[in-house]
Structure 1
Amino acid sequence: MDLRKYIADLRSAGMLKLINEELSINYEIPYVITKFDKGPALEFTNVREFRTAHVVGNVVNTRDKIYRALNVKSDVEFYKKLLWAEEVASSYKTMETNNVVYEPLPNVDLTRIPIPRYFELEPGPCLTSAVVVGMDVKDGILNASIHRLTPIGPDKFVIRLVPRHLYRIYVRNRELGKDTPISISWGLHPALLLAAASSPPFGIFELNIANALLDGSLRIKVLDNGVPAPAYAEVVMEGYISARETTKEGPCMDVLGTYDEVREQPVVRITRIYIRRDSPLIAQALVAGYSEHKLLMGIEKEAKIWQFVSNVVPEVKAVRLTDGGCGWLHAVVAIRKQSDGDPKNAIMAAFTAHPSLKHVVIVDEDINVDDLNEIEWAIATRFRADEDLVLIKYARGSTLDPVALDPVQGITTKMGIDATRPLNSDINRFKRGIIPASIDLNKIKLE
C-alpha cells in the first residue's frame, strides 16, 4: 500500500476533490487546505512552482478517512487494532526489497522538492509530514517518528527534536562522537504516519507496527547509511543528524495553533535524495494546528486512554481528545460507572495514559463526547466543584503549554472534572426532557 493507492481509493469514494486552478505552494495551497479543514481530501494539480508535482492535503483529516485506511469501522475497533499492532510489532519485522519506486537525483538540492511554506512568521518552507527513521549506531536500535524539518541550505535541514526516542538515540550517538544516520520518507500511506506518531516502548520499531497494520505487506529499502526507508514513498532522503552542529529552529507553528519558541536544534545533512520515478510526484502538505495534525498526534493517545481507563472502570463508552484542546491537552471520556469513585479513577488513568494531558472531563454514557454543548450541560448539571474537582499540582504535562510553570519540563497543574450523576440520585432529575411525539417535519409548512 502507498499514498497513491490510498488517494485513488478516496477519489473513487467521493472523498477527494481536484483543484485545477494554478496556486502557489507558498501560502496559497496551505490556505485553501485550511478552508476545507474537516472536508474532503484535496489534490492540487496545477502547482505554480512545480509543474511535475501535485500536492495533496487533508488526506487523514477525519476519522472516517483514517478508519478507511486501516479497514476498521469504529473507534473501539481502531483502538484495538492499533494497540494490537504495537503489541505484536516484533513479529511483523519488515522485509527488504529492491523493487522500489524511486531513483536518486544526480545532485542533492532541496529546492527541487515541493516543500510548502505555511505561516507568515516561519523562517521558510517546512516539511511537516515526513517520517524520520534514526539508528543507534552502537546497538542498531531503530526509531521512526515525525519531526518538523526546515531547510537551511541546499543539503541541510534543522530538525525539531523533542526529548523522546529519536532524541534519545541522537544523544547516545553524540556521546560516542557519532552522527546519527537517518532516512527521511515523504508521501506515505496513512498507516505509516499513524505508526510513526505512536509511542511504543523504546526499541519497538514503528515501521514494524505499520507492517502489522498493513497485514505484513510493507516493504523497505536499506539505504547506503544502513537505515531503512519504505519502498513506496514519493521522496526518500538519506542523511545524518550532526552530533556537533546546531542552529536556531523556529518560530514554527505547533499543534496548539501557536508559534513554538525558538530553540537551538541539531542540523541534518542530506547526502542523497531519491524521487518517485513516475510523474507526477505527490507531495503531502500537512498544516500544523489543523485537523490532520491533531488527529495524527492524538488518536493513538485516545487508544491509550481507552485502554488505561478500561482497566479501572467497568465500561468505557467513548474517548475524545477535543478540537478545542487541540487534539492534545483536553480529553472527554464517557463511562458506565458502577461506583461513585469510578470517575476519579478514570481521571487518574487518563493522565497516566497520556502524560501531556492537561484537563479531562468524565461524563456518563448518555453524553455525546463530540457535542460540546452536551459536555457543558453535563458539567452544569452533574458537577460540584467541592466534591467533583481533582487538581494535581506540579505534574509533568506538555512542553507546548504556553502557561506551563516550567516550559522546559512542561510542569503544570492538571484538572479532572467528574461530570457524572450520583448513583444514588433520582435518575429523572438528571435526564433531558423528551417530547413523546413522532412527526415528519418535512410535512410542516412554515408560511
Structure 2
Amino acid sequence: MFNKVQNQSIHSIHSMEEKEEEEEDVSFERLMNSQIKVEDRSSVLLREIKLMQELQHFGRERIPERVVHAKGSAAFGHFRVTNDHIIQYCKASLFADVDKETPVAVRFSSVTGERGSADTVFGEMRGFAVKFYTEEGVWDLVGNNVPIFAIRDASQFPAFIHANKPNPRTGLRDQNSVWDFNSLRSETLNLITYVFSDFGIPNGFRHMPGFSINAFKLVNSHNKHVFAKFHWYPHQGIDNLDIDTAAYLRGVNPDYARQDLFDAITNHRYPKWTLKIQVMNQKDVDNLEFNAFDATKYWPEDRFPFIDVGVMTLDRNVDNFFAETEQLAFCPSNLVDGIEPSPDRMLMGRLFSYSDTQRYRLGSNHQLIPVNEPINGAITPTLRDGQMRVDNNFDGLPNYYPNSFSLITDNPVYLEPPFTIKTTKVFRYDDSNDHNYIRN
C-alpha cells in the first residue's frame, strides 16, 4: 500500500515537472512578444527596444503622396519592334532591329484624385507612363489617355491642378473652381470636349489608349532630326463606361480598373498595345498654321499619318505594391541617345518638375531603387552621397569630372547635334488666345 502511494506521488511530481517545463516553453515564446515591465500591470520601460522599433517604423511606413497621379497601378512586360520604318528617324538602340525586345514597366493612374480615390471618376484624364529598360539606360515615355493637354505653358500647371483638387477650405471637390479656371483659360476647351464626351471614363486600363501629348525630337544615325508624337492603341479595343455604370462601380469597387488589370494578367489574358508615331520635319513645323509644339493641339492625322513601331505586352503583375508601384518613378528627362526634348514649353517644365518631385518623394537616390534602376548600371558618377545611398557609391573614384584617375571618357557618339534658335527677343508672352479656335 505504501509503495503504491509513493509511486503515485512520484508520478504526480514528474507530471508536475513536465507541465512546468511546458509552461516555461510557452511562457518563453509569449515573453518574446510581450512588453518588459517593472511589475505586472505597471508602466512600460523605454528600454523595450523591439516595441520602439516597431512603432518607429510603423510611423514612417508612408511616403509622400504624389501631388498628381497619386492613385496608380503597375505591371511589367516587354516591347517588341515590329516595323523598322522608325530607324530612318531614330538611332535609339531599342528600335535597331525588328523583333528586338526591351523590358518595360507601365503605370496607369488617375490624375487629380488622391491615393484612395475611385478608378471610374468622370471628366478627367488618366495617366499612361511607360519605362523602357534599354541597354543604353532608362527611357521614360510619360503621357495620358488623351492626345492633348489642358494648357500649353508649364507656368499654368500648378493652377490647373489646384483648380481640380479639393477646395482648400472645405476639403471637398469644387466644380466651381474647375469651371472657373476652364472659362478663364480658353485653351482648355479641346481637352474639356474630350474628357466630357463618351471617351471620359475608360473601361479599365486595358481598354485605354495612351499618348505622349508632348512632341519629341528624334535624331537618326546621320544626326538628322524630325519631331514625333507617340501613341499607344490597345489590341483589346478602346472601350469606355457610361455614367451610370461608372457611378455604380465607384460604390461597389473603387479599384475596378486595378483589379481588372491584375486579374487579366493573372489569368494569362495579357493586354497588348501597338506603338505608333506621327512625324513632322522642320519644314512642316515652319509652315504649320499653329504651333506644332502646343500641347493643346492635335497633329492632323491626314497630314501626319500614323507609323507602326512595335507591340507592348504586359505579362507580369507586381510582386509587391509598395516596392514596384509606389516607388516606380517616371521622369521625362530620362532619355536615351536618339530621343531629345522638343521646344514644347509644357515639356520644358516637366523635364525639371518630375525629377525634382521624385527626389522629394523618394529621395535623392531614387534611381537606385531596383524598379527604377537602369539595367546597364548607367548612373552618373558625379551624383554622390545623399539619403539611401545603398550601393558602393563608386568606391574611391573621384566625384568630379574630368579627372585624371578614373577610366571615364567622353564618347562623341552621344553628343547631341547642334540646333538653331530663331527667337531674337526674350519677353513674357500671353498665349491664352493662341489659335484656340480655328474657323473652317
Range of TM-score over shorter length: under 0.3
User: Relative contact order, CA 8 A, sep 6+: which one is greater?
Assistant: 2
More strand per residue: 1
Select the structure of larger CA radius of gyration.
2
**TM-score, scaled to structure 2:** 0.26
**TM-score, scaled to structure 1:** 0.26
